[in-house]
Structure 1
Amino acid sequence: MTSQDDQHTAAEGTAGADRPMSGRSRSRGRRLLRILVSGLLVAGLAFYAGSFLRFAATVAGYQNNDAARADAIVVLTGGSERVKHALTLLQAGNAERLLISGVHPETTPQQIVISTASDLSLFSCCVDLDRNANNTLENASETAKWARENDFSRLLVVTSAYHMPRALLELNSTMADFDLVPVPVQTAELAFDRWFEDPRTTLLLAREHLKYLLAWARIAVMETSAP
């Protein structure tokens, strides 16, 4: 065998020795990738579970705040009980003016009075209707505009207890210089302190918590990208 044959054989031997090493490296790399992905999934689930439990505790922890007073009241539509509660606060003298945000374009004050058993005279002196907002983000924008136009600095925020965290998140993002006081409306058939016993309440909180996280992420991105 010539020296060239010897060199060729040696090269083949070296290449053959490298192949198993490369296979082991790829296998080790895939194993590390699986561990990394699994770790990220576990961390993500732990974050979500912890966030949900804090959210549920916040909702369950809201106390009756009907004695609070402010310059004005804003109620975010989503049920006649919210509006009725806000009108009751206005009539009791907790504030001088009320904004009902998110009113359907075709809804009249008379219809609101009928559905809430309230006094029509309040609408001629002390109630403003926002018909532009279609969601919580737009509620916050319209409320900020209204409050600044009227030189209000302290507002009572009326909405359902489960909706309050997201409502305050959106409002604070546009009204950081305002004093916002939560006045949650409790729903009799929803026991938020025992949410885990009722699938309907659990589902409601889970859905609202997801909306809260999406709003939080959007606001965080906007604040990060702001000049």
Structure 2
Amino acid sequence: MIVRFFSIVLLLYLIGFIVFSVTLGSSAGGNRTDGIVVITGGSGRIEHGVDMLAKGYAKRMLISGTDPSVTKADLVHRLGGRKRLVGCCVDLGSESVDTRSNAEEAKRWLDKHHYSSFRLVTSDWHMRRARYEFRRVMRDKYRLVPDAVHTEPRFVTLFGEYNKLLLRRIAVVFEL
């Protein structure tokens, strides 16, 4: 009986991992929002957010989780230009250290600017957990448009992210 129970649990875990792996986040396309929130930590995220901002899909952008030593000049150098766009419309947030605190930092930024919608930019493999954390922090106060940056994640990355998502959901259920 115990072996059957654990076999079913293992089977459900594996099916969940497969579904997670083949249904990664995708690009949001041309949906307009008030703001853009980019979570640091993966290649192409900031560049994608800046491209969306330059195309007029939002008024302003927050880069959440920025190292406190990073300046707008550093960002302009990294992007190979776009000084005017970065100077007027990009905010660097350095208060967050993980996905949950990214959501808290973004909520304060959205409140400050009186925005009602935002485009969330992160890697495709990270989007599901990021959306979960942002919705938990923000409830239904803001319209969230997920905009995942396409990557080619390795098995280890997917496996780790799937387990983080499961553990976070379990922690929320048990209020840990």
- Pair in the same fold by TM > 0.5: yes
Report the more deviating stretch, 110-119 or 135-144.
110-119
Structure 1 residues 64 and 109: CA distance shift in structure 2, 3 A: same
Alignment of 1:1-227 (within 5 A): 35-36=1-2, 38-59=3-24, 62-177=25-140, 178-187=142-151, 190=152, 201-222=154-175
CA apart distance, 1:80: 4.5
Q: Please provide the CA RMSD for this pair.
A: 1.7
Name which structure has the greater RCO, CA cutoff 8 Å, separation 6+: 2
Percent of aligned positions with the same letter in both sequences? 34
Answer yes or no: is the 8 Å Cα contact 1:101–1:143 preserved in 2.
yes
CA-CA distance at 1:122 after TM superposition: 2.1
CA change 1:219–1:149 in 2 (3 A) is farther
Give structure 1 regions of 4+ aligned residues with deviation exceeding 6 angstroms: none
Aligned residues of 2:66 and 2:92 also touching (Cα < 8 A): yes
Q: How many angstroms does 1:68 deviate by?
A: 1.5
The alignment partner of 1:114 has SS state of: helix
Letter in 1 for 2:124: A
Corresponding residue number in structure 2 for 1:6: none
In 2: Cα distance, 1:219 partner to 1:97 partner: 32
Structure 2 distance, partners of 1:80, 1:122, is 20
Q: Which runs of 5+ in 2 are unaligned?
A: none
Q: State the alpha-carbon separation in 1 of the partners of residues 81 and 168 from structure 2.
A: 34
**Does the 8 Å CA contact 2:104/2:137 hold for their aligned counterparts?**
yes
Indicate conservation of the 8 Å contact 1:84/1:118, yes or no.
no
How far the C-alpha of 1:126 sits from its partner, in A, is 1.2
Structure 1 residues 137 and 120 mapped into 2: Cα distance closer, same or farther (>3 Å)? same
**Rg larger in structure:** 1
Name the TM-score, length of structure 1 as normaliser.
0.72
SS at match of 1:162: coil
Aligned equivalents of 1:110 and 1:220: distance in 2? 43
- Cα deviation, residue 220, structure 1: 2.4
What's the TM-score, normalizing by structure 2? 0.92
Aligned pair count reads: 175
Deviations along 1:135-181, whole A, 9 cap, x unmatched? Answer: 11110111112112222111101011011001101001011212111
